[in-house]
Amino acid sequence: MNESQARRAGLMVVVSSWLAVFVLFGVRCTFAVIKLPMVQELQWSDTVIAGGFSIMMLLYGITAFFSGLIVDRWGARPCYFLAAVFGFFSFWLTSSTYSATTYYVVYGLLGGIATGMCWVSSTVSVRNWYVGKSYAKMWGFAFMGGPVAQFVLSFLCNELIPLYGWRFTARVLAGITLILMLVASSLTKKAPASYGAKPFGELPAAKKAAPAHVWGVGEAWKTYAIWGVTIFFLMCAISEFLVWTQAVSFFVDIGYSMDRSVHLYMIIGIIGIFSMPIMGMFADRLVAKFGSEAKGRKMNLILCPLVGIVACIVILQSKHSVVFAVIACILFPIYWAMMPGGCIGYAGAIFGGKTLGKIWGIATLIAISIGPASGSFIGGVFRDLTGGVTASMMFAIAPFIVAFILALTLPLVVVPRRANRPVAEATMDAKAAAAMQQQPE
């Protein structure tokens, strides 16, 4: 590819990732709207319904690991194709279920495979094409698919369910998933090196800097950096998914109508459409300001859970005034715009891009197979035990606090193991790291 062709290819990767994220978060956000009609018709407990979502997120994490292996070798195309097939059958078969066991299989298992094929493939694809001063902005544009889905599909479900029921609505979602993921599969590209191109946005390399180290998966997982950012991701996911799956129920519990509750939930999507690229540009400005991608990404991760904590505190005040509910629904997408891209941005800054799919696939396996499943299940259990969602929202603050502490401790440089030398980790600047790498054995 020449430079013009490479730029077009990069944009196609962003568009295809946008579609994948739209489907991924469309599956997640529609659950919060469909959940109550399912409980009312099927007479299942909130814990049983939430259990299907938990199984889906568990399988999502496991599948995400394998999608990382696929995208490193063949690109995102096969991942998106599999997401189209499994996502279609997940929604379509769920629309016909009357058994909890069947529901767990078709919504949990098939839906988990579909969503797992969307996440690592989209994040790593964008990271492969855009790094340094361009990554967060371009990922922000791709990540806009999530809030657009939250707004459009929540509105669609809220309009269709009263007229045609949740089963017909699930079939509509099946068709949307199939079409969009097939389009994404046709548009996406492999990593730029496959076409003789380079990623866009690289920071100037330090003079006399050693060649970039290609990290082995096992080597990377012997460092605190990857464990730290993975557990950070896990803690945020617990809080985030507890809120996502229980937000509509929380608003209904404190006395809002279903329509108002869904409309408040849609605010998260509306604000997210703008917060994704804006916070992406903010994160890239941090990188430019510090002159170090690792420093900029770390600062972004420090700020991220603080926004989540404030959002949880504010939403608890919604029973006093709808103004607090609106403010919370503005703060949550700001947090949302900072967290996932910030995590993989930090990992990419430390470990590079050649093996990032495998490395981040394992991180996603750990964080997403535990975090969202735990968060959504905890929310359902608290609601069944207490008769409301207030306790769940209070609980969500604690994992955010843990994430904030972890972000403070993340290293800025990890020196790779060489010739049986122990791995050295320190928060030093890029010049000091380059000087250490130049020392003779």
pLDDT at residue 205, rounded to an integer: 57
Evaluate if residue 346 carries a pLDDT over 50. Answer: yes
Kindly state the average pLDDT of the residues 179-189. Answer: 96
The confidence score (pLDDT) of residue 135 equals 84
- Which is more confidently placed, 425 or 27? 27
Tell me the C-alpha distance between 359 and 221, whole Å.
8
- pLDDT exceeds 60 at position 419: no
Q: Give the domain ranges of the chain.
A: 3-437
Task: Look at residue 170 and tell me whether its pLDDT is greater than 80.
Answer: yes
Residue 423's pLDDT is 39
Question: Could you tell me what percent of the chain has a pLDDT over 70?
Answer: 91
Superfamily per CATH, domain 3-437: MFS general substrate transporter like domains (1.20.1250.20)
47-105, pLDDT tens digit by residue? 788 788 888 888 887 888 888 889 888 999 999 999 999 999 999 999 999 999 999 99
- pLDDT for 298 equals 95
Identity of residue 349: A
Query: Contact 202/337 with Cβ under 8 angstroms?
Result: no
**Mean of pLDDT values over 203-229:** 78
**Averaged pLDDT for residues 261-276:** 84
Residues 420-424 have a mean pLDDT of 39
Measured CA to CA, the distance from residue 12 to residue 53 in angstroms comes to 31
User: Structure tokens of 139?
Assistant: 């990922």
Using DSSP's 3-state secondary structure scheme, residue 380 falls into helix
Predicted confidence band at 441 (pLDDT cuts at 50, 70, 90)? very low
Dist. CA 337–CA 332, nearest whole Å: 9
pLDDT surpasses 50 at 357: yes
Q: Is the pLDDT of residue 440 over 70?
A: no
Tens of pLDDT, residues 109-166? 999 999 989 988 998 899 889 987 788 889 889 988 988 888 889 889 989 999 999 9
Is residue 415 within a helix (H) or strand (E), and if so which, with residue range?
strand 413-415
pLDDT band at 434 (very low <50, low <70, confident <90, very high): very low
Quickly state the pLDDT bin for 356 (edges 50, 70, 90): confident
Q: What is the pTM of this model?
A: 0.72
How many angstroms separate the CA atoms of 402 and 397, rounded?
9
pLDDT of the residue at 437: 45
Report residue 355's pLDDT band, with 50, 70 and 90 as the boundaries. confident
* Per-residue pLDDT tens digits for 271-315: 888 888 899 889 888 988 888 889 999 999 999 999 999 999 999
How confident is the prediction for the chain on average, in pLDDT?
85
The terminus-to-terminus CA distance of the chain in angstroms comes to 39
* Residue 240 reports pLDDT greater than 70: yes
- The closest of 23, 137, 5 to 76, measured between CA atoms, is 23
Look at residue 210 and tell me whether its pLDDT is greater than 70.
no
